[in-house]
Amino acid sequence: MTDQILTNAQIVLEAEVMHGTIVVADGHIRAIDLGNTSVTGAIDCEGDFIMPGLIELHTDNLERHIEPRPGVDWPHAAGILAHDGELASTGITTVFDALRVGSIHSGGKGNYGKYARQVASEIMALRDKGALRINHYIHLRAEICSETLIEEMEEFGPEDRIGIVSLMDHTPGQRQFRDISKLKQYVAKKRSMTDDEFEDHVSRLLELQRTHGPRHETEAVAHAHRMGAVLASHDDTTHEHVDVSARHGIHLAEFPTTREAAEACHAHGIQVMMGAPNLIRGGSHSGNVAAHELAEAGLLDIVSSDYVPSALMSSAFLLADVWDDLPGAIRCVTSNPARAAKLEDRGRVVLGLHGDLVRVGRVDGTPVVRGVWCHGRQIG
């Protein structure tokens, strides 16, 4: 592995930005020095920022690559490699690939089938062969409102590198889809449903929640503990939702839908994660609380790219402008998610940690990724 010397850089540390030089050797950060160096082979960063590699805890981007259109099953290896390369190009060096567990086989056009076990195995096989550029972990999205959640979770074990299990309940009329018209706008269009087919779909989901919801939630929590995964909530809306999350031992809340829920999360010591697209667009596409409202209220801890990988870097610089605090904004996409996922070996520019680094400039305010290193190896 070739040593890397990055000089004439604005180095983003946890609490400050310093002008200096970083040396990476054997895949780890070995020196952080003030000022420039003229050592042969050093890369002149021309005053660009050098920051930790971004850490993505929840992205649906892989699903877009393996099913580019509804019903189109793209070759998985090609899709995984394309996803990996796309994330690397945006400065993400560690990703938790979100895969749904829990399927519906008897809901007409609302059906969706099992895929997580197969895709997780394919990701791990490509990783073991050295085909992936960045670090991949698995994030299981446990769909409470489904038929087969427990059976699908039983297919995973501690050896599967399951980093996160999130409790998803997309039952119509609550959480993300309190406004059922938003669900109709999303699902009916995607699945080409008639009004009658959509009504049947909603009725089926409500029945599934009544029949399986409590047992699925209890079992999903137990399986997360069995696999040694971080447990996350999803779309908490009320104080009551957050109280339940706290009783489960949850310390990470994905996309709370109201300020009330975000405030309750902080009261319980639960970190709040919001989507970068919400932040950049100025609001939620589901009509829920705007990420910028939580940011301005000091209730935003972590940002996820969700469904637009490049949005993660853009959102960090947007937050930096809002807060007038670049290190604080960068923590939301580096050290904060690293700690939430119990990864203490990355996410900061600190001696001895992984040499996961990104070089970023700005052109008319827009961040431009000009170099990416993962474990000291340049990958972009």
Whether residue 15 contacts residue 45, with contact meaning beta carbons closer than 8 Å, is answered with: no
**C-alpha radius of gyration, the chain, whole number:** 21
Report whether CATH 3.40.50.1860 matches the domain 1-52+346-380. no
Report the alpha-carbon distance of residue 214 to residue 168 in Å, rounded.
12
Find out if CATH 3.20.20.140 is the number for domain 54-343: yes
CB-based contact 251:271 (threshold 8 Å): yes
Supply the pLDDT for residue 1.
53
Average pLDDT of span 18-47: 96
Predicted TM-score of the model (pTM): 0.90
Q: What is the mean pLDDT of the chain?
A: 91
pLDDT in tens, 43-88: 999 999 999 999 999 999 999 999 998 778 899 999 999 999 999 9
Helix (H, G, I), strand (E, B) or coil at 57: strand
Q: Tell me what pLDDT residue 211 has.
A: 78
- Residue 112: what pLDDT? 67
CA pair distance 338, 344, nearest whole angstrom: 7
What is the pLDDT, as a whole number, of residue 292? 96
As annotated, the residues of the chain forming the CATH 2.30.40.10 domain(s) are: 1-52+346-380
Mean pLDDT along residues 89-107: 91
Cα(223)–Cα(335) distance, integer angstroms: 27
The C-alpha angle 133, 137, 143, rounded to 5 degrees, equals 135
Query: pLDDT at position 175, please?
Result: 61
According to the model, what pLDDT value does residue 196 have? Answer: 72
254-266 pLDDT per residue, tens: 999 999 999 999 9
What digits encode the pLDDT tens for the residues 143-197? 988 889 999 999 999 889 899 999 988 666 566 666 666 666 666 666 667 777 7
Amino acid sitting at position 34: L
Q: Is the pLDDT of residue 109 over 60?
A: no
**pLDDT band for position 26 (cuts 50, 70, 90):** very high
Positions of CATH 3.20.20.140 in the chain: 54-343
CB 275 within 8 A of CB 306: yes
